[in-house]
Structure formats: C-alpha cells, structure tokens
Chains A and B, each alone.
Chain A
Amino acid sequence: MPYKTSLINKELQKLIFRSVGWISILQFAGLFFALPLQLMAFTEEERQYLFIDNLFSFQQGVQIVFTMGIPVLMAIFLFRFLQVRQYSDYVHGLPITRKALFHQYTITGILYLILPLVFITLILLAMYEPFQLEELFSLNDVGSWILIMLLFHILFFLMGVFIGTISGISAVQGALTYIGLLLPLGMLMLITTNLSYFLTGFSADYILDTKLERFSPLVLFAQISYIEVDSLELILYSSTAVCLYILALFSYVKRPIEAVSHALVYPFLKPVFKYGVTFCMMLLGGLYCGEIQQMTSWIVAGYVIGAIIGYVIAEMVLQKSWRITFQVKGFLIFAIVMVGAAVLFKLDLTQFEKRIPAYDDIQGVHLSESYYYYQDSLENEMPVFLKEADNIEAVRELHENIIKNRDYTGVGHEPTVYMTYLLKNGEKVVRSYQVDLNQYETYIKKIEESQEYKTNTNSIFQADPENVSELIIDANGTLPKRTSITDNNEIQEAMRALKEDIQSASYENMTSSKEPIAFIELRIKDSDNSIYMEWKTYDQHFKNWIQDHDLLEQSRITAEDIQYAYILKKEMIPEELWLGYTYSDIFKEMAKHENALKLTDKQDIDFLLNNASYSPQNEYVICYVYAEGKYDVKELAGKDAPASIVRHFEHN
C-alpha cells in the first residue's frame, strides 16, 4: 500500500480550525478593541494630551492580558487531545507519525496566533494616513510592536506546548506553563535573598540588579509599555523559543501515551517536581518570615513551615487529591539533605564571610549605605571608587572591625554598610552589613571627610562651570523667595564658594539634620539636566558671597519676614495633626494652646531659623507667621533649644 506522504492532512487542518479557531477570533477582537478601535475613538482634544512611548501604551492592560493568556490558551486547547485518554489513544492510533502530528499542530497553532497580529498590523497601516496616526507614533513603532508581539506570542505558546508534552492534565499544563515562565526569576530572587540570611555580608541587592525582569519573559512583558526590549533580549528569547520547539518535539516523540491524566507523564519528573516545589516553598517561607522578623528562629520556622506546605502541595498535585497521606520518609530525606547543605554553608568553606581583599590587590573601594547609592553613581556617571591609599585602608579597617565585632543589628530597614572592592584583576568583591553605624563612626568620618570622597560624591565637582547656564536659589520656606544668577562669572564664583564649603565641612556638619537655608539648582546648558544641592547653615563661603552680592534678602527667609513664631512641644499636639493637615490647621491648634510660647523678638527668631532641623526625634514644633494666613512649620531638636525655651516648658 503506498503511503500518502502529504505533509498536511486537510482533515486534520479542519479539525484544528474547529477546535482552536475561536481563540484566534477572540484574540483578533481583543486587539482590535485595544488598538484600531481605540485609535479611531480618540478625539482631536484627547490626542493633544496623549503621552505615547510605543503601541503598547494603548489599552496596555488588554494587550498584556491577551498576550499572556491567548498563547497559553492556544497551547492547551490545541493539545487537548494529549490530555484525554480516549482522544489521545484515538489520535495515536491513526496512521501518522508523532513528528508529523507535532509539526502540523504546532505550526498551525503558531499560524493561528500570527494571523490576528498580521491583520491588526495591516489595519493599522491602512489607518495610518487617513487617521493621521503619524502624530501619535511612527511606522517604526508599528514595526517594533509587531516584532515584539510575535516573539512573545510564540515564546509563551511554545512554553505551553512543551509543558503540554510533559504533563497529562490540561489544568496542570496551564499552571506549569506560567510557573515555568516565572521560574528563572523566582529562583534567582529566592536563592539570593535567602543566601543573604546565611552568608553575613552577602549583598542580595547587588545580584538582584535592576535588569532582573529579563530573566522572566512574563515579568518583562508585564512592563512592556515602559521597558525597552534590547537586542540581547530579542536574541535570548528567540533562541529560547527555538530550543522549546526542539525540546517539545523530542519530549512528544518520547511521551508515554499511556500516562494521560498523570500530572507529569515522565516518571523521573515526579521527584524533581515534588522536591522542587518543596525547595521553592521552603525558600519562600524563609523569605516571608525573614522579611517580617529577621530573627534566626523566625527564619528557621519559615523554612520548616514552607517546606511542609510545599511537600504537601506537590503530593496533592501528583496524587490528584487533597486527601493524601503525608509520606514522612521522603520528607525526612529532604530535611536531612537541607540541614546538611545549611551546615556546609555555615562552615563557609569558601571563606566568604572572612575574606577581605589584600591591600595590594585593591584598585579602588566604594562605601555607601546601600547598593542603590552605588547604582545611582554608576548611572549618573559619577566616580564610584575611592583610590587613595588612606581611604582604601580605612574601608579595609572598617570591614575588619565589622567582621571582628560580629555585632549585626539585622533589623529590616536600618541603614547598612555597603562596600565594593574593585580589584586589580578587574573582579569585584561586594559586601553589605546591617550594623549600628555609630559604632564605626571613626572610620566613616575619616572616609567621608576626605577630599576624595567629597569630590566623588558631590555632583558639583563633576560639573564644568562653563556649562552651567543658570544658578537658582530657592529659599527654604513657604515664601516665594528666589534668586536667579545667569552671569557666568558670578556662577563660577558662587560654585567656587560652594565647593570650598563642601571641602571644609566636618563629618558632624555633613550628617546633621539641620534645615538647609535654601535649595540650589545648577542648570546645565543645552540639556534638561540639573545639579541639585543645599545651602547649609554652616556654608560660610557661600553665605559671604551672597552677602557680598547683596542677595541675602531675596535668597533666604530672614527674621524680618516673620511677624512672630509659636513654639510648642511636639507631644502637646495631637499626633493626627501631622498627617495630612495644613499649616494653618497646625497654626490654629498652636494659637489656642495655653502652653504655646509666642516669640516676637527678632534675635530669637533668627536663632530658630538657623537651628531648625528635621528628625523624628525632635522635641519642639515651630510655627512661623509671615503674615495673616501665611504660615510655615518647622521643628527644633531638644539639644538645640535655647535655655529660655527649655525653661518655659519646664514650668508648664
């Protein structure tokens, strides 16, 4: 009998259309609503206020939900025949090889996903001129839209197909598809965050960099309207799609047909799944408890509870019933292996916790409160590393002392010490510790008072004065006082004064929480960039320069601006006043308070202006009255309060 070797079986094509054609139609309808219809509906006026990055900005919710949902739905319904015993037996009894079946189904599925996208693109192109869409986006935008949509549709679809070949239940296929798309990112986050509990000094933030979402196409696509997909990601995802196609084909050819209705058709995947889920849930439990309360007992409890929940869930899925018996033996083996691994980590065989690079190996050091400062400096093209010998030594000494003291505060969001060593061989050693900074003040003071540190961390040192077009001084207060300097010579003088002030500032001054006198903005020529800084109370050089140019009056709030001020202890004011009330509410409250101290003497007010600060520990509230109905509220620390004020409140 001759075997008809036509690649495409017409009846099979009809069958596929009958079972999944509706998904294509649904997808077309959804996208038609999100794009062409939406574009037609915009009025002239609405168009004026549209802010469009790309085509994903239109109805992005609909676009995201459809792109994440439709391809997986397609994979599930297309390969429904794999997950129903009789259907599966029937199809595999037909005279056609599995390879031929797979190619025909998968390629047709891709075609049904592509067609609606192509139609929508054609409609957009047809609309482009009649609807003047060039005002909204370019043809390039349409091109990148179709390219990204095609890629992600095919990628999500092939993931669904691959999972379909290893799973025997449609619901499990759907769930595992999404888990598979999230897994690389999820695992990375779980493992790094948990490692930071185990390895003192391990910086999870450093690993969990901002470009993290590329590890999960699903997460990346959720942010598609404001994240640029770069060519590396395009290549990465395209090759992943190709790999998935090949893997799915291979897995389908080997699939034991008789395993239909098992959660996983390959027996060897069952333990992988079971212990994989247990492991992930264990880490998740640890992470959850660790974020609530960073105590070893909580974290361990999180691990145990997480592991048990994961183990039970995995068993339930595999046994397809929630009424399962807990298999103690398997869990015990898992627990023993995990405890063993934990002990190995704690033994710190790689000397991770003790390692401090040798002085001779170090090119430069970075020290800040968190990874985000490091990242910020990199992004703003500021120098990141300190290279002077004194600073390198100081950071090493600080590091040594932290390790020696082993006194970690470990409480959630307290400031941390973040350090990066740049080694001469190009490698980086990154550590972060949660410690009480006051203990290490000597080292930090030494570093932060160094000229190198100051030049590195203050943007003004990186700016070319010739390039500054305007210097703006905004008084710190609710009076609209503003000085603008545009003369370049004056700008240069002012900048010199500001730099001198920074260079002579002490650590105590730099870290004080005193209210600045004014805010300074240096506008950079021919760009939208500015450098922002503060005029601090101790900035003598700048103050002198301002005075010399007779700009003081218009640049800051002075005692002359203020009629009188009220002072009251913070605790005497109802707490809710701080939340969302206006200054005039606070004024009224203070005005009627019997203990409020009213100051009218200009000298007293001048003192307040130079000593107000911001800190949750402050004791006093100040309310300045500029004029009827014009108020400003500041605070004063107890240690800065003059004797007269302290005395007043002692008596009341």
Chain B
Amino acid sequence: MIKISNVRKEFQEIEAIENVSIHVNKGSIYGLLGSNGAGKTTLLKMIAGIYEQSEGSILIDGRVVYENPSLKQEIIIIQDTPFFIPQYTLKQMGKVYRSFYPNWSEERFKQLAADFNLDVTKKIHKFSKGIQRQAAFILALSAQPSVLILDEPMDGLDPVMRKKVKSLIFEDVADREMSVLISSHNLKEVEDICDHVGILHKGKMILERDLDDLKSDTHKIQLAFKGEIPQQLISSLDIVHQEKRGSIFICIVKGLEEELLTKIQAYHPVILDILPLTLEEIFLYEMEDAGYAVQNILD
C-alpha cells in the first residue's frame, strides 16, 4: 500500500532523513517511533505530499504522492499541533474538507461532533488544546481517507479521549481497511494499536518489526539448575540478553515457545518459568544488541 524506498531529505535546519525505506500494508497501523528531532515529522510530511523528498520514492498504491491531488484526496495528515484556518468554526472547516475530500461524510461528521459533544458553530481557536485535537480527529475521520497520518496524535488528550480515539481509528481500519501511520516518542502510547513499528534515530531507520511476530518470537525465561548451567544449552539458544541473579539465570531468547520448552526441559531444570515481556523490554534488549543506548532513542 505505502511503499517508501531509499528516501533522503536534507534542508538546512529541518530534521534530515537518510535512506529510509518503509512498507505499510493496507489496513494496518504503523507506529513510527523516535525521540524529538529524529526526523519523524519530516518523514510524515513527505508521505503526506507536503514536502518533496531529495531522493528516493514514495508511492501509495503505486502512485507518486507529491503534487498528485487525486491521490491526496485519500490522505489526511493531522499535524503535531493541529491547524485550523484562522477564525473558522468547526462547521466552516467541515465545508472546506467537504470541498476537497470527495469521501467526506456529512452524516459521520454530525455523528462524531455529537459523540465528542463539540459545538460546531464555535470558533475552533477558542477551544482548549485537547478539544482542538478532537476537532482535528473529527474532521479527519469524516473525510474517510484511505491513509491517515498522525503526528504525535495522543499529546494533550486525556486517557478517556485516547481510548475513544483509538477505538475510532480501529473501527475505520476494520471497516474500510484504512492504513494508519502514527508517530510517537512514547512506545507505550502506541503499542496497543500498532501492528508494525519502526524506530527512527537521527534520520535513520534503525529497527523495524512486526509486533505480533515479535511478541510470539521473543521470550523471557527464568531458569535454575542443580549445579552449573549446562553450557551446551546456552550455546544452543538464540539469546538476546542474559543475566544471573544468584543461582537463577534469566535470559531473553528468540524462538517458538514450544520448541524452546522442549529444548530446555531436556536438561531437567529445577525452575523453568516463562515471564511476561513488555514491548519496551524487547526493544531495549534488541537495540542494546544493535549498539544503541535506548535512553537516547526513546524517552
């Protein structure tokens, strides 16, 4: 669906992008992670056809986005600080969207405005920041885009609203196979909705994973043996990270759960537990592996 190949962007003081490739499938949600200044916003604005890349290609359904209005009719971006035309009410903004996006649903717009309990005749800039963000969601979702790009979308929303917004996004993904790109500097914020995650650091993509695979593929195991840990076992496992706490050996291992268990049980461990593993831990260990200190990359 969205295919980004070897994209590079450089311009004076904006965050630069170096040789980034991403693939987002139709109907999936892609989380773009990275600290401030990593280049997330620049990349998203290129995907939305606002900036032009210096090199590489950005294709959506095989078509170039930049200066392509018929394609851009299906793409909506909500900027990190949502923008509304000065002095406009939500109703007037709705008219602007309706004139540009042919999929616009007036019905949905009214429904959403009612759901969020927003006064459509009040000037948007008089709303609080959180409400403005809701207004941006209402407009974006009413336009029913096939690609929705969200730059730090959860900032300024309270937990109830976050949940509401997330469920709305899920709904559209499920009903209309909408593809979503979400950027965030906080993994926890997006891990429950993304099915793919990429980590951008200083303009480079340092990690890209399918979250379902990742979770079923990586395990935290707690082991203890009578006597020493059999070296044979250790060398046969794909260990990402290991530590010893007294006689207890804790390791993070890649592989299918079933296979791992059979392998270990062959050495008759005294203790064998599979512990819950958060996504953050996986990244922490993976990136350590790749030679990055995670504190610098995600905050």
Contact = CB atoms under 8 A, between A and B. Distances in A.
B79 interface: yes
Contact of A257 (B50, B75, B99): B50
Contact of B72 (A9, A93, A257): A93
Contact of A86 (B52, B81, B98, B103): B81
Interface string A291-328: 00000000000000000000000000000000000000
Interface in A250-306: 256-259, 262, 267
Given A15-B85, A86-B83, A258-B11, A95 B70 contact: yes
A380 interface: no
17 contacts: A2-B70, A3-B70, A9-B100, A11-B98, A15-B85, A15-B96, A87-B83, A89-B83, A93-B48, A93-B50, A93-B77, A94-B72, A96-B69, A256-B52, A258-B51, A259-B12, A267-B12
B101 interface: yes
A4 interface: yes
B77 to A, nearest CB: 5
B247 interface: no
A256 B83 contact: no
Interface residues of B, number: 34
Of the candidates A9, A86, A258, the one having the most CB atoms from chain B within 10 angstroms of its own CB is A258
B48 A95 contact: no
A-B complex: 9 closest residue pairs judged by Cβ atoms: A3-B70, A95-B72, A11-B99, A95-B69, A86-B83, A95-B73, A90-B83, A11-B96, A92-B50
B73 A3 contact: yes
B14 interface: yes
Interface string B10-22: 0110100000000
A98 interface: yes
Interface in B167-193: none
A652 interface: no
A639 interface: no
B11 A259 contact: yes
Interface string A95-117: 11110100000000000000000
Interface string A490-528: 000000000000000000000000000000000000000
Nearest to B81: A86
A10 interface: yes
A641 B7 CA distance: 96
Interface in B40-93: 42, 45, 48-52, 67, 69-77, 79, 81, 83, 85-87
Contacts of B79: 86, 89-90
Given A11-B98, A100-B69, 20 more contacts: A1-B102, A1-B103, A2-B70, A9-B99, A9-B100, A11-B96, A12-B99, A15-B85, A18-B87, A19-B86, A86-B79, A89-B50, A89-B83, A93-B76, A93-B77, A94-B72, A95-B72, A258-B45, A258-B51, A262-B12
A15 B96 CA distance: 9
A421 to B, nearest CB: 55
Contacts of B85: 15, 87, 90
Contacts of B86: 19
Given A3-B73, A257-B51, A96 B83 contact: no
Interface in A463-502: none
Contact of A258 (B14, B96, B98): B14
A92 B48 CA distance: 9
Interface in B256-271: none
Interface of B: 11-12, 14, 42, 45, 48-52, 67, 69-77, 79, 81, 83, 85-87, 95-96, 98-103
A3 B69 contact: yes
Interface in A1-59: 1-4, 9-12, 15, 18-19
B140 to A, nearest CB: 11
A498 B84 CA distance: 85
Contacts of A262: 12
Given A1-B73, A86-B79, A94 B103 contact: no
A9 B101 CA distance: 12
Contact of B49 (A15, A93, A259): A93
B247 to A, nearest CB: 58
Contacts of A93: 45, 48-50, 72, 75-77
Contacts of A2: 70, 102
Contacts of B72: 93-96
Contacts of A18: 87
Contacts of B100: 9, 11, 94-96
Contacts of A12: 99
A18 to B, nearest CB: 7
Contacts of B74: 1
B35 to A, nearest CB: 20
Contacts of A98: 67
Contacts of B96: 11, 15
Contact of A97 (B51, B67, B76, B83): B67
A257 B67 CA distance: 12
Contacts of B76: 93
A20 to B, nearest CB: 13
A9 B69 CA distance: 13
Contacts of A19: 86
Of the candidates A9, A11, A95, the one having the most CB atoms from chain B within 10 angstroms of its own CB is A95
A19 B69 CA distance: 24
B50 to A, nearest CB: 5
Of the candidates A9, A86, A93, A262, the one having the most CB atoms from chain B within 10 angstroms of its own CB is A93
A320 to B, nearest CB: 12
A406 to B, nearest CB: 53
Given A11-B95, A93-B72, A4 B77 contact: no
Contacts of B102: 1-2, 4
Contacts of A87: 83, 85
